[in-house]
Amino acid sequence: MYDENFVITESDGLVLTEMTEGAARAISSWRYGGEYSMYDFDGSAEELSQVMNGLHFPVYEADGFDRNNRKIIVNPVGFVAIGPAAQVLSDESEPLYAESDSTDIAIGLRPDLCGLGKGLGLRLTGIAVNFVLQEFPDDGVRLAVSRTNGRAIKVYEEAGFKTVGSFKAVVNEHANAQEAEFLLMEL
């Protein structure tokens, strides 16, 4: 169960909360593998510290109610990162990030929930956008996504994001560093 004092926002059956160490440990162990391995976490103390930096927020799915009519929440279904924690930095991306008054977001869906076609990615994107617009109502919303991540691009386009640029960056520096091309998308 979650403490309602930690809830920041709710939307479409999802709850975005402040990060806890337990949620950070769970998220920092996620491994996507295969073509999505660039999104893998390594579970290191450094990565755990980054997830606990105050710019990452776990998202849970509300599964029901207990005897006291409080919502019961299980493991995070995803997370939202904002601001600098959401940016994919490289020599090519830094000028693009400087050109806009948008708040950056990054969205992570738990690996076992990816690609199921049940709309969870769109719901997660929705709560991320709602959170940013609630906190920074005068800003736009922007995200970066690997050009090869067709599933995520489709979700973001369905949510209203448009591609405004592209850049290359080295990703997954902790293991099997590789250069990838990213699309920069804005709402």
| pLDDT tens digit sequence for 37-55 | 888 888 889 889 999 999 9
Greater model confidence, 160 or 8? 160
* Tally of domains within the chain: 1
First to last CA, the chain: 33
Give per-residue pLDDT as tens, 123-176: 999 999 999 999 999 999 999 999 999 999 999 999 999 999 999 998 866 566
Give per-residue pLDDT as tens, 113-122: 999 999 999 9
Q: What confidence tier does 12 reach under pLDDT thresholds 50, 70, 90?
A: confident
Greater model confidence, 4 or 121? 121
Q: Is the pLDDT of residue 1 over 50?
A: no
- Structure pTM? 0.89
Give per-residue pLDDT as tens, 82-109: 999 999 999 999 999 988 889 999 999 9
Q: Which domain holds residue 125?
A: 4-186
Q: Is the pLDDT of residue 69 over 60?
A: no
CATH code of residue 94:
3.40.630.30
Q: How buried is residue 184: exposed, middle or buried, by Cβ count under 10 Å (0-12/13-18/19+)?
A: buried
How high is the pLDDT of residue 108?
96
